[in-house]
Structure 1
Amino acid sequence: MRLLAFDGRMGASGDMLLGALVAAGADPSVLSPVEDALDVTYRVHEVDKNGILATKVDVLLAEADGGDPRGEGHADDHRHQPETEDGDDDEHGEGDGDDEGGVDAGHSHQHQYRRHDHARGESAHSHDHDHAHSHDHDHDDPTHAEGHGPHRTYPEVVDLVESMDVPAGVVADATAIFRVLGEAEAEVHGTALDATHFHEVGADDAIADVVGVCLLLNDLGVDRVVTGPVAVGGGEAEMSHGTYPVPAPAVVNIAAAADWSVRGGPIEAELLTPTGAAILAHLAEGVETLPSMSVESSGYGAGGWDFSDHPNVLRAVVGDGGSRLVRDEISVLETNLDDATPEVLGGLQETLKDAGARDVTIVPTTMKKSRPGHLVKVVVKPEDAERVAYRLAVETGTLGIREHGAGHRWTARREFETATLDVDGDDYEVSVKVGSDADGVVYDRSAEYDDALAVANETGLPVREVMRRAVDAVASDDNE
């Protein structure tokens, strides 16, 4: 199994993800369909981050400086152009002096979320990612594409991505990422998804970030993407709606639905952007440590911050993950109950899963003095253990819960497909869970009982027959 692992202990943004994937071996020439569809070009070069050679990917206006339509210094084959951040050629002009906060004086990060009111005026729909950070390059410099292009709604972004000459899988991933972004923004502002204007995230450079990451990932041909806990930074950020604590509201909403966890620090700065969070939320599974793998390649994607003690880079490691099943980091909670009523026990499955449990098992057992009792075993993610343990305690009244500590389980990839059954001329839908290994080989299909029971009640067919037909229908579709 080909595995890609991100180390997000210094955060993540669209440009950092682009740089990390190129540095890990992806071919930048696959980005050309985005350049053909938008008024931008990619500039790939190398920078020094606290002694680490990292790859920086800038999104530039295609007709920069009125010369080479791909921008000064941009070769048609997207060759890396080694440069130092101190040199005159670095268009971001990152200096080497530290201010009191450990950030280079006169420099602020170059992530894709910026307010450029000189270009478009103050908008009544500006969103939380319109950060009012200053930048060390001239805001009148036409080379950089931040905020360039119209402010699009989610449907407009989808139409644009679908019009690009890119593989279908790239379109699916990119539009899913924008949906994550759109739903997060809509929740923050109390608007409908289709009516939410993306502004910066719908501008050309942000679309270039998202689609570019999907193209580079497709080129790497990995089977699984994981990330460790992602640093969000700390402090406050100036946004169009005022001063907000880091992480930004949209980042909080995205992280809540993601499989991975976040952590504060290690710097008082904004390290995780909404675009970076949305890309990882769609693509990556969360892990606590780097999985076992045979490393084939690795690289660092550069961010725009310079700190005195922390290189602002995102590391990507590519290699053979070995197992054909997915390693899932877990903890196991246990408690013995000798006085729980059947009603309480019957409700634990639902209440504990609502609190974050992955699986709940209740086993009849014999307690002291030969009293009948039950052993409750709960599988959780390590970061959810305390919350689930508290819910278990208040639901059952138990005075002690054991935790077996962080371990792991091997799991299949699970997807749901919908089977449509024709019964006496009427169509009925049943969800079918499909289990497969990391290579996509399906080895189990099982119909969802509740769906099958509803169809059985309406049609008079036995539940077993409905489940059999649903599994057969999905298997037939998969084999076509």
Structure 2
Amino acid sequence: MRLLAFDGRMGASGDMLLGALVAAGADQSVLSPVEDALDVTYRVHEVDKNGILATKVDVLLPEADGGDPRGEGHGDDHRHQPEPESGDGDEDDGRGGGGVDAEHSHQHQYRRHDHARDEEHTHHRDDGNEHSHDHGHSHSHDHGHPHTHDDHHHHEHSHTRDGHTHAEGHGPHRTFPEVVDLVESMDLPAGVVEDATAIFRVLGEAEAEVHGTDLDATHFHEVGADDAVADVVGVCLLLDDLDVDRVVTGPVAVGGGEAEMSHGTYPVPAPAVVNIAAAADWSVRGGPVESELLTPTGAAILAHLAEGVETLPSMSVESSGYGAGGRGFPDHPNVLRAVVGDGGSRLVRDDISVLETNLDDATPEVLGGLQETLTDAGARDVTIVPTTMKKSRPGHLVKAVVKPEDAERVAYRLAVETGTLGVREHGAGHRWTARREFETATLDIDGDDYEVSVKVGSDADGVVYDRSAEYDDALAVAKETGLPVREVMRRAVDAVASADAAVTGSDSDSDDSNGQ
């Protein structure tokens, strides 16, 4: 099994995840569909973080003078040697996971920070937005005014630095349906569209909960801007290129202290991060610095993609790399590590939700049809259990295992089929499943050939541990030949096992033959 493990002891953000995946071996050329759709450019370069060579990814707007925003022709050599990290935390635009200071004075040492407006420079945000704008340094402004930070995460305008225009906050502030439409309009693999959409749903639901609004009506603000879309979709593309079977992360650091937001001063982590972490499979920890380390977008990406572990799983390391955050800290390299390798034979993690309802007035005919009707609506498995309800009335507990994206559709079908007035959904979880394939067994019975499908279960390395014949196929052959169903199923499994052994050169094993 190919495994990707993140070490989030300095938090995570969209750009740190991008950098870590590129550094771990993902091909950055797969990002081109996002560049084409949003008219942005990913600038990938190396920086030094407390002696660690890390990869920094910036999302840039096209240069007005026609220059290449990736860095060539601008007199900078950061594509060839790492940029130094200054002790005061000056590192590019300070985006994400790199610590957030609510207010700061500005005297820039070697890069100019220009703002396009002359009015008071105030940043407004809603909780749950991505990207920090944080400087442990100071720099001068062309407009002599106080610099107040209401938005501790993200500027609502772009920055020109090193001759490059950063795409922070650029583009419209989209609603969730608008973000989904944008993602679906890109030339992306189906799996990437599914992952990106799911991540934005996690993010949108967290923001909606913070503000008490409906998901479809909630504006993402900066998180729906072009650079944040580029972060989320870019991570999904790079992960697809790495072609891993399992993603894990250790406990993720959130930082500490307080942060100034548009609604006041809040403790770190931000409210949206708390909501996302509550539904995630991994755990969080405070520290190790007094700064905001885990951004909402970073949290949402990991919540959708990663399983939580306490320590690095056993694996044979193939590659590793570090994604750089925006800030620099004296005693802690501000990086996110990604390790890729062979994680051994394991089952496959499948994200699911479980729907259930209690029925005390359903007829046998209705109950008997639920297996088919709920499966047709998208249920992966349906269970009906006899139970005793209030006043000792006999009843039934109906459970349906579904993919999270199918939950509402299956719940509605369960309601209209049974008349139940409520369906419970257990929080996002997962199940461990075997890889499943169907092979066709051809049986010679009295000179005639009959076909029976056999389901083959194997682990992530292809080691087969179960074969079971499909009952309906076996029943049809049994009726036609007069053989017992059990005998037809046994012969079908033996035939598939023998065929597999001939291909692999191993002994066939029919002990798994029945599967009933």
TM-score by length of 2: 0.58
Identical columns (%) = 92
Deviation string 1:142-195 (CA, Å, 9 cap, x unpaired) is x11100000000111111111111211111111110011001101111111110
Contact preservation (8 Å) 1:128, 1:239: no
For 2:57 and 2:170, the matched residues in 1 are separated by: 17
Task: Report the alpha carbon displacement of residue 62 of structure 1 after superposing the two structures with TM.
Answer: 2.0
- Give secondary structure in 2 for the equivalent of 1:79: coil
- Shift in Å, 1:281: 0.4
For residue 39 of structure 1, report the CA deviation from its aligned partner: 2.5
CA contact (8 A) 2:435 2:459 kept: yes
- Which aligned runs of 4 or more in structure 1 are off by greater than 4 angstroms? 69-81, 86-90, 95-120, 122-141, 326-436, 439-480
Alignment partners' CA distance in 2, 1:268 and 1:239:
16
Q: Distance in 2 between matches of 1:253 and 1:115?
A: 37
CA displacement 1:199-246 (0-9 Å, x = unmatched): 110000000100110111111111110000000011111111111110
- For the residues of structure 1 that align with 2:353 and 2:35, how far apart are their CA atoms? 46
Q: Single out whichever of 195-204 and 432-441 deviates more from structure 2.
A: 432-441
What's the C-alpha RMSD, in Å, of the aligned pairs? 11.6
Contact 1:233 1:270 in 2 (8 A): yes
**8 Å Cα contact 1:64/1:70 also seen in 2:** no
Of 193-202 and 450-459, the range deviating more from structure 2 = 450-459
Change in 2 beyond 3 A, CA 1:273/1:108: farther
Shifted more, 225-234 versus 454-463: the winner is 454-463
Say which SS state the counterpart of residue 117 (structure 1) adopts. Answer: coil
Give the gaps of 5 or more residues in structure 1: none
Match of 1:129 in 2: 135
Q: How many residues align?
A: 475
Q: Distance in 2 between matches of 1:22 and 1:461?
A: 59
Q: CA deviation at 1:471?
A: 17
- Corresponding residue for residue 334 of structure 2: 312
Moved more, 450-459 or 29-38: 450-459
Contact 2:95 2:132 in 1 (8 A): no
Tell me the SS of whatever aligns to 1:55. Answer: strand
Distance 1:180 1:423 in 2: 55
Deviation by residue 1:443-477 (Cα, 9 ceiling, x = unmatched): 88999999999999999999999999999999999
Question: CA separation of 1:125/1:29 partners in 2, compared to 1, >3 Å: closer, same or farther?
Answer: closer
The answer to whether the 8 A contact 1:200-1:206 is kept is yes
Q: 2:397 aligns with which of 362, 366, 375?
A: 375
Please say if residues 95 and 105 of structure 1, whose CA atoms lie closer than 8 Å, have aligned partners that are also in contact. no
Q: Does 1:146 align with 2:168?
A: yes
Greater mean deviation of Cα atoms: 447-456 or 184-193: 447-456
Contact 1:60 1:144 in 2 (8 A): yes
Cα distance in 1 for partners of 2:307, 2:38 equals 31
* 1:342 to 1:297, Cα distance in 2 relative to 1, 3 A: same
Pairing of 1:17-416 with structure 2 (within 5 A): 17-63=17-63, 66-68=66-68, 70=70, 82-86=82-86, 94=91, 143-325=165-347
Which segment drifts farther, 76-85 or 147-156?
Answer: 76-85
Higher Rg of the two aligned structures: 2
Range with bigger deviation, 65-74 or 211-220? 65-74
CA deviations on 1:109-132 (whole Å, 9 max, x unpaired) are: 999999999779x99999999999
Match of 2:115, SS state, is helix
**Counterpart-to-counterpart distance in 2, 1:191 and 1:402:** 22
Shift of 1:385: 28
Tell me, yes or no, if the aligned pair for 1:114 and 1:131 is still in contact at 8 Å: no
State the shift of 1:40 in Å.
1.2
Distance 1:50 1:158 in 2: 39
CA contact (8 A) 1:128 1:241 kept: no
Instruction: Between 445-454 and 172-181, report the one with greater CA deviation.
Output: 445-454
Q: Which moved more, 1:29-38 or 1:104-113?
A: 104-113
Distance 1:369 1:354, change over 3 A: same
Shift of residue 29, structure 1, vs aligned partner: 1.0
For 2:383 and 2:250, how far apart are their aligned partners in 1? 28
Cα distance in 1 between the residues matched to 2:270 and 2:139 = 13
* Contact 1:419–1:430 under 8 Å retained in 2: yes
Work out whether residues 254 and 281 of structure 1, in 8 Å CA contact, stay in contact via their aligned partners in 2: yes
